[in-house]
């Protein structure tokens, strides 16, 4: 049996936290290892347990979701944080992803979307609730100058990393060498003036070049 995905739930409302745990506990491949009702405690527990995924409330006391995400990424960069929020504003989404979050799921989302989002993020993908992905694209008023400079092959690489593909997988999918993939990523970062895969994906989503949605359950 494969190793289960470990999850930390950071949510100050007890009923929501308990409901989320009950939802995840039904899944044989997911294990909740800790809970926190404060952002600062979530950071401490993330450093102690190193879960695969943290489900982080945006408006949690002690340390808000964005600051807690940033702190977790500083002490445990392998931990993947998903913001779970009632706020749909694209500025919140961009701020969260810029802080290092690997996903942003609305509290109004179906429970299956959250469960599949945990799996997708644990596998390396970035996950947004579908309406947020559309809103980011629709809310971008500036021309597509930066993304228009990307070559077709660079766009193919960018779309695959948005799906959570590792560099080796991208190389295999496109029939190119790992060094070539790394070269394409360097060019993408330079052209978009970003410093990370997440920033590149957020930029591309904001310009309607890629769409990030939780994968459908087979």
Structural domains present in the chain: 5-137 (3.40.50.2300), 145-206 (1.10.10.10)
Over residues 78-130, the pLDDT tens digits come to 999 999 999 888 788 888 888 889 889 999 989 999 999 999 899 888 888 77
Residue 119 has what pLDDT? 93
Q: Any idea which of 29-33, 64-68, 186-190 has the lowest mean pLDDT?
A: 186-190
Q: Would you say 68 and 60 are in contact if contact means Cβ atoms under 8 Å apart?
A: yes
Residue 204 has what pLDDT? 78
At residue 213, does pLDDT exceed 70? no
Residue 74 has what pLDDT? 94
């Amino acid at each position: 049996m494969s190793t289960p995905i470990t999850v930390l739930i950071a949510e100050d409302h007890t009923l929501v936290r308990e409901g989320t745990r009950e939802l995840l506990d039904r899944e044989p491949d997911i294990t909740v290892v800790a809970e926190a009702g404060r952002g600062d405690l979530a950071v401490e527990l993330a450093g102690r347990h190193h879960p695969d995924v943290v489900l982080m409330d945006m408006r949690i006391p002690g340390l808000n979701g964005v600051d807690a995400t940033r702190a977790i990424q500083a002490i445990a960069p392998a931990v993947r944080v998903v913001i779970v929020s009632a706020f749909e504003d694209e500025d919140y989404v961009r701020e969260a992803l810029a802080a290092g979050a690997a996903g942003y799921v609305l509290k109004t989302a179906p429970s299956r979307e959250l469960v599949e989002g945990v799996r997708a993020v644990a596998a390396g993908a970035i996950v947004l609730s579908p309406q947020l992905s559309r809103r980011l694209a629709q809310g971008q008023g500036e021309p597509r100058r930066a993304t228009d400079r990307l070559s077709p092959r660079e766009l193919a690489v960018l779309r695959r990393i948005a799906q959570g593909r590792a560099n080796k997988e991208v190389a295999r999918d496109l029939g190119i060498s790992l060094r070539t993939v790394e070269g394409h990523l360097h060019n993408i970062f330079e052209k978009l003036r970003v410093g990370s895969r997440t920033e590149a994906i957020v930029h591309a989503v904001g310009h309607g070049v890629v769409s990030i949605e939780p994968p459908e359950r087979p």
